[in-house]
């Protein structure tokens, strides 16, 4: 039988800081896990952009890594920073992935997908030896779904039927739009944002959603994060998970 142990480390930084600075503190702390010769999963989102920019500086100064981006947006940024990129099909084992999250609960489960890259993010996280999540303190919640919608990537074909099936699980659902047009993912699919309120059993809900035909993936990331680095007003906190056999 396995139990999870959560370890909290705290690194004070002095004066209180604002949200953007909290993001930067957490994101730049994560680069300590990146070593020469690694294959690194590069996440998507405003917080992890700070990490990618820092890695770009390290590459410029001689660090030799291979990056695998989780989105076209991240690919463009990494290319601008001259970070060498490779394809997941040719590099199926990733040493470490650094990514952000929309919500993190006390079990280190996540909601992701605010940027619409959830399917690629989950694929890359699954194939990573270690997954580091960087967030500011506003993303730590008492229960998933408290502050964020749950994104679900669906095929364009039959999306309204898929939306109806999602609502039958107990949520209100809306097709994500940008400027009154449907948001299109990098995989050329739609996103349906689902409001379940506080999710009591995220492990079960993840499976129920993915069993609906037309669903490609949902934004519940269960048991994938190994460590969460949190930028707070007082400094940096780290939450780690260790598997203990009892």
pLDDT at 246: 36
Q: Does 174 share its domain with 69?
A: no
In a domain, 80, yes or no: yes
In a domain, 236, yes or no: yes
Residues spanned by the domain of 75: 2-140+221-245
In a domain, 94, yes or no: yes
Give the torsion sign (CA, 183, 187, 192, 195): negative
Per the confidence metrics, is the pTM higher than 0.75?
Answer: yes
In a domain, 66, yes or no: yes
Q: pLDDT per position in the chain (246 positions), as tens?
A: 233 444 444 445 444 457 788 888 888 899 999 999 999 999 999 999 999 999 999 999 999 999 999 999 999 999 999 999 999 998 889 999 999 999 999 999 999 999 999 999 999 999 999 999 999 999 999 999 999 999 999 999 999 999 999 999 999 999 999 999 999 999 999 999 999 999 999 999 999 999 999 999 999 999 999 999 999 888 899 998 765 443
Q: Does 110 share its domain with 175?
A: no
Q: Could you list the active site residues?
A: 121
Q: Does 174 share its domain with 198?
A: yes
pLDDT at 2: 33
In a domain, 169, yes or no: yes
Q: Does 46 share its domain with 66?
A: yes
In a domain, 209, yes or no: yes
In a domain, 145, yes or no: no
Nearest to 130 by CA among 206, 10, 240: 240
In a domain, 213, yes or no: yes
CA distances from 11 to 25, 101, 195, 237 (A): 10, 21, 35, 6
Q: Does 34 share its domain with 129?
A: yes
CATH number at 61 reads 3.40.50.1360
Q: Does 169 share its domain with 182?
A: yes
Q: Does 183 share its domain with 164?
A: yes
Strands 128-136 and 227-232, sheet pairing: parallel
Q: Does 83 share its domain with 198?
A: no
CATH number at 178 reads 3.30.70.260
Q: In degrees to the nearest 10, what's the CA dihedral of 86, 88, 90, 95?
A: 80
Q: Which helix (H) or strand (E) holds 99?
A: strand 94-99
The DSSP result for 161-229, as a single string, is: HHHHHHHTTS-EEEE-EETTEE---TTS-EEEEEE-SS-S-HHHHHHHHHTSTTEEEESEE-S--SEEE
pLDDT at 22: 83
Q: Does 127 share its domain with 176?
A: no
Domain count, the chain: 2
Q: Does 27 share its domain with 117?
A: yes
Q: Does 210 share its domain with 225?
A: no
pLDDT at 220: 98
Q: Does 186 share its domain with 240?
A: no
């Amino acid at each position: 039988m396995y139990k999870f142990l959560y370890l909290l480390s705290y690194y004070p930084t002095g004066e209180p800081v604002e949200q953007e600075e909290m993001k930067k503190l957490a994101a730049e702390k994560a680069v300590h896990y990146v070593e020469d010769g690694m294959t690194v999963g590069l996440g998507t989102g405003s917080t992890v952009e700070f990490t990618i920019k820092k890695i770009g500086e390290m590459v410029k100064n001689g660090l030799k890594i291979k990056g695998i981006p989780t989105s076209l947006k991240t690919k463009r940024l990494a290319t601008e920073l001259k970070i060498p990129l490779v394809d997941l099909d040719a590099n199926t084992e990733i040493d470490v992935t650094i990514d952000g999250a929309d919500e993190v609960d006390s079990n280190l489960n996540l909601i992701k997908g605010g940027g619409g890259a959830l399917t690629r993010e989950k694929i890359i996280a699954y194939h990573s030896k270690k997954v580091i999540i960087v967030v500011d303190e506003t993303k730590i919640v008492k229960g998933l779904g408290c502050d964020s919608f749950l994104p679900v990537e669906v095929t364009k074909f039959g999306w309204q039927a898929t939306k109806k099936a999602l609502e039958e699980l107990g949520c209100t659902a809306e097709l994500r739009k940008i400027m009154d047009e449907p948001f299109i993912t990098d995989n050329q699919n739609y996103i349906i944002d689902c409001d379940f309120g506080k999710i009591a059993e995220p492990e079960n809900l993840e499976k129920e959603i993915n069993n609906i035909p037309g669903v490609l993936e949902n934004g519940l990331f269960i048991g994938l994060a190994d460590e969460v680095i949190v930028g707070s007003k007082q400094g940096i906190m780290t939450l780690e998970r260790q598997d203990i056999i009892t």
